Structure formats: C-alpha cells, structure tokens
Chains A and B, each alone.
Chain A
Amino acid sequence: MIKISSEDEKKKDNITRIIVTNSESMLPSDVMMKVYHSSSDVTAKETCFGTMINGPIESVNKVVEDVVSMDPNHIFVKDRGFLPGDERRCRSSRGGGPRPGFHFLREEVNTLPLISKGLEAYYKGESPSSGFEAKQKLDAFKLKYIIESEEM
C-alpha cells in the first residue's frame, strides 16, 4: 500500500511556468523584482533563458498575469513539467551541458522578435504586405559552386 502524504498532495497542485523576456525596455531582473513585490506564495528562479516560477496554481497565474502586463507583446510564458532544480533535469547534477529541451527553447527564443512584431501589428490592425514564401530547395549548381569555392 502506498502512503500519500499531505506534502505529495500539495506537490500535485503546484505548477511551474517559464517566463521568457524579449523586451528592449525590460530585463529579466525586472521580472524578478516584480515577482518579489507580488508577495505571493511562489518560488522563483532566474536562469539564462528566463524566469521559472513554481507554486500553487492560483498564485502562479496571478504572478504571471502581473508580469505579462508589464510588456504583453514581449513577454512569453510556457508550462514546465519539472520543478526548478529537479535532479532529473538540472545540469548541476547531470555533469553539465545543456538540459534536455534547452535547444528547442533557444531556437524559439530566436524567433520571438518576429512574433512580438507580429503581435504589435495584429493589435494595431496592420496586415502583412506578403504572406509566407515557399521554402526553396538548394539549387544543385549553387551547391556545386559552394563546394568548389571551399576547395579553392
């Protein structure tokens, strides 16, 4: 028989969110200050790609809402399954290197400036001048030219 302690029950109601900042007018440290000022029952951890907030669902949602309202088009939020510093993910206990999921997050963070501009344009009611351009395959002659120029 597995005993479920009250601490385990509490853990189940806790969630973790990652707040990624892509703003020219705000720093990740500003996000942290906002979290500290909220005096909610949450724990926060600043990392190289954003801020992780963990705590009861209502408190986390409230803090996230407050933080996003500072610059709605430049602050992005996603869920995280593991707790901040979880041994199964934290690189301090895994011998270094990027944690699983980091590369994808970094790739998306590079795209965030385009999304921010898209959001600004959407709320202003601007429409894009052109749609998606179809991806072109690399031309064989161009590839040959690149190879030959490398050999030179």
Chain B
Amino acid sequence: MAQIIIYPTTSLILSDLVRRFGHEPLVMMEQIREKINTVGIDSPPLNITGQEPKKGLKYAAVEVPAGVRGRMALVGPLIDSAEAGIIVDEPDIAFGCMGCARTNELTKYLIRQRDIPLLEIYYPRTEDEGKEFVKQIATFLKELNNNSKNSESEEEAN
C-alpha cells in the first residue's frame, strides 16, 4: 500500500478511487482533523494560526503572501511523504473558492518536482471519458502495487 498525494487535495472522487484500489490517499482533511483535534493554547484551535506561515517558509519564500504559506504548512508535509501522485489538471472548480490559485500552482509544481510516479489526467465530461478516467487511475494504482512487490522481492533476493 502506497501513500498517494492527490490534487485537488480535498477530492471525493480521487480519495475514494485511491482507497478503493488499495492505497492510502494523502488528503487535506486528514491534516485538518489532526490540527483541530490537537490540544493547544488556542483551544479550540483556529484553522490557521500565526505558526503556519512560519512553517510554510520551507515551501515558499518570505515575500509570498501569508495565506499561501499558511496553506502550504498543511499541504507541504503531504507532498513530502507521498510515494506517488495523481493530479487532475485544470479542474473548473479550482477557479474560485477552492483555496487560492497560487497555492494550487505551487502544490502542483512541488508534486511534479518530486521524483515519484505521477499520473496527470482531466475530469471526465462524457461517458467515454468517465470510463477512461477510471481505467487510467486503476491501471496506475495497480502498477504501483506490482512495482512495490518487485522491489520487495529484489530486496529479499539481495
């Protein structure tokens, strides 16, 4: 089972498909759950405190807006721990209230910079595209399983 970073990071479809085909999706909701359930001085904790923009400095420069750095403090660790990734390019909904465009660009850039297996795809608009969408994701995730089994057997052989 591999840890898969998905973009959009809150996607119902992607997180369901990744879990359905036997892997663990790395999603923003998990980060939020951990954050709001961790007892601290500001209890109940706020979404983003003054600490997040500081943590975000690992992923974005100081002149980048605090909002982007704050978001990256949550998304960045997910990207760091990912073993593979699935990016849905140009989702219509990303233009609007799904966070800010700069954070989305930076997230995709950092995923692409990691040397991990990556699938880039579009949201389906027709029935045929829906079939192709599921098929591509399923094939990609099954290949990951095969690769991990092969590397395990190689390690055992050594």
Contacts and interface: CB of A to CB of B under 8 A. Distances in A.
A binds B: yes
B33 A117 contact: no
Contact of A105 (B12, B16, B38, B96): B12
B29 A81 contact: yes
B97 interface: yes
A121 B130 CA distance: 9
Interface size class of B (residues with CB under 8 A): 35 or more
Chain B interface helix/strand/loop/mixed: helix
A77 B148 CA distance: 26
Interface residues of A, number: 46
Contacts of A88: 36, 44, 47
B32 A122 contact: no
Nearest to B32: A81
A2 B40 contact: yes
B140 to A, nearest CB: 13
A78 B97 contact: no
Interface of B: 8, 10-13, 15-17, 19, 27-33, 35-41, 43-44, 47, 90, 92-93, 96-98, 121-135, 138
Interface of A: 2, 4, 8, 11-12, 14-16, 18, 20, 76-82, 86, 88, 100-101, 103-105, 107-109, 111-115, 117-119, 121-122, 126-133, 135
